[in-house]
A = this chain, B = another copy of it.
């Protein structure tokens, strides 16, 4: 049985965050001391680590909530539900990736165009490009 600070040390989450996750039903403390202190048993700890892993991968708290409800009652859910959540997340990631790649591209072009020196910015090609509408299609579907 771990106390909250011990679970925090074990998972790398802060005690604040653990309480916050509890509010959102992601992490549970099966027991409480008489004084109200949270105590985490092995099952709670595994659940907390599941949450941490999913969070590390990039799932939202809402996604994790769904994954958890599948995890606790696997027979009532299908693999498809799990892959749907995962695929949806992957789609999001891919979308953000292409936005960021576009930004990267534009920024690199801008940087190449400018001397970057101590010269006055009177003819700075970055400022000029922005003035001219140096648009590469970003943020299209943010």
A residues with CB within 8 A of B: 46, 49-50, 53-58, 67, 70-71, 74-83, 86-87, 89-90, 93-94, 96-97, 99-101, 103-104, 106-108, 110-111, 114-122, 124, 126-127, 130-131, 133-136, 138-139
* SS class, residues of chain A in contact with chain B: helix
Inter-subunit contact B79/A124 (CB<8 Å): yes
What residues of B have a CB within 8 angstroms of the CB of A118 in the complex? 78-80
Contact present for A74 and B108 (CB under 8 Å): no
Do the beta carbons of B89 and A120 come within 8 Å of each other? no
* Chain B residues, CB < 8 A from A111: 83, 86-87, 90
Given contacts A50-B130, A97-B104, A131-B50, contact A117 B80 (CB under 8 A): yes
